[in-house]
Structure 1
Amino acid sequence: MTIELITAPTPELHEAMARLLPQLSRSAKPMSEADVERFLAQGSVHLFVFRPDAADDEGNHPILGMLSLATFEIPTGVRAWVEDVVVDEAARGQGAGQSLVVAAIEHAKKVGARTVDLTSRPSREAANRLYQRAGFQLRETNVYRVTLEKK
């Protein structure tokens, strides 16, 4: 299995995101090629993808998973936040999610982050076990959100 840090948009990445995002969220809107390019242009966002070792019928090693790592500096230090972890349904249970999370943690260390945070719904039992195996600990905190309407 291969984990890559993606720095430039490609048609393959756009296709993979179009396939993976609906598996992550029913409400996620499709990203245009320009959206993907804008997303990757952010210096504080790092996109990791998973490719299997085994080739598909066409001899390719398609993108079957992804994870976004946001890093930012605040007065108390550099922080990192994991978002949008998704592995294709056909590739789940093979360690792809774990490999993506480990790669993100290592990258966060390289950029000097003091912590890496994430949220996960309690109903996502397999994902929660994965995060705990990767060293994440459940925090005693409240997570608040305000939804902003688009005009």
Structure 2
Amino acid sequence: MSGVGRRVASGRVTVEISQCSHVDDELVAAFAHLIPQLSSSSPPPDAEALGAIVDNPHSVLFLARLDGAIVGSLTLAFYRIPTGVKAWIEDVVVDDVARGNGVGEALNRAALDEAAQRGAKNVSLTSRSTREAANRLYQRIGFELYDTNLYRYKL
């Protein structure tokens, strides 16, 4: 299930980060467990939806493991515009039982490394203001709050 792997020691635990390269029952079950912790309005993706992410050359699905179990994920999407290649981090989720072990930071750092290797000009993300720990993490890593208006049109 991994493309590029890395191990990050954080206190007493070692977080293993990899790029997902195929979909299996373990992955589908992990997302069935993780997505409800991220969003109450979006159903977990099925194998076909996960396959569309994994097979897309413009996205990378990162997985975090503790003791061999998938405990987090992050999706990094790339797009080209006239001013260059940009990247966007989406759907960062860490299992409640694994929080505080450096999983979110390890996922984000892996995504930033990949974005740099692919020549992205910058990496953006959004985070609800109520997710205080996540916002502190993003600022600690080096993300800067960008003054803009975000508009969304629901289809």
Q: Same fold (TM over 0.5)?
A: yes
Distance in 2 separating the partners of 1:121 and 1:25:
12
Between structures 1 and 2, the one with greater strand share: 2
Distance in 1 separating the partners of 2:55 and 2:106:
24
| Residues 53 and 61 in structure 2, CA contact (< 8 A), matched pair in contact too | no
Deviation at 1:33, TM superposition (A): 1.4
Number of aligned residues: 141
* Aligned 1:38-53 pairs, distance under 5 A: 38-52=52-66
* Aligned 1:9-88 pairs, distance under 5 A: 9-52=23-66, 55=67, 61-88=68-95
| Structure 1 residue matching 2:106: 3-state secondary structure | helix
Distance in 1 separating the partners of 2:49 and 2:141:
31
| Residues 75 and 92 in structure 2, CA contact (< 8 A), matched pair in contact too | yes
Distance in 1 separating the partners of 2:124 and 2:61:
16
Question: What do you get for the CA RMSD once the two structures are aligned?
Answer: 0.8
Letter in structure 2 aligned against 1:42? N
Q: Structure 1 residue runs of 4+, over 2 Å off?
A: none
Matched, 1:121 2:135: no
Deviation at 1:26, TM superposition (A): 0.2
Unaligned runs of 5+ in 1: 56-60
Deviation at 1:90, TM superposition (A): 0.2
After TM superposition, the score normalised by the length of structure 1 is 0.91
* Aligned 1:88-99 pairs, distance under 5 A: 88-99=95-106
- Cα deviation, 1:29-49, whole Å, max 9, x if unaligned, reads 132212211221111110001
After TM superposition, the score normalised by the length of structure 2 is 0.88
Unaligned runs of 5+ in 2: 1-14
Deviates more, 1:8-17 or 1:125-134: 8-17
Letter in structure 1 aligned against 2:89? V
| Residues 59 and 78 in structure 2, CA contact (< 8 A), matched pair in contact too | yes
Distance in 2 separating the partners of 1:108 and 1:145:
25
| Structure 2 residue matching 1:63: 3-state secondary structure | strand
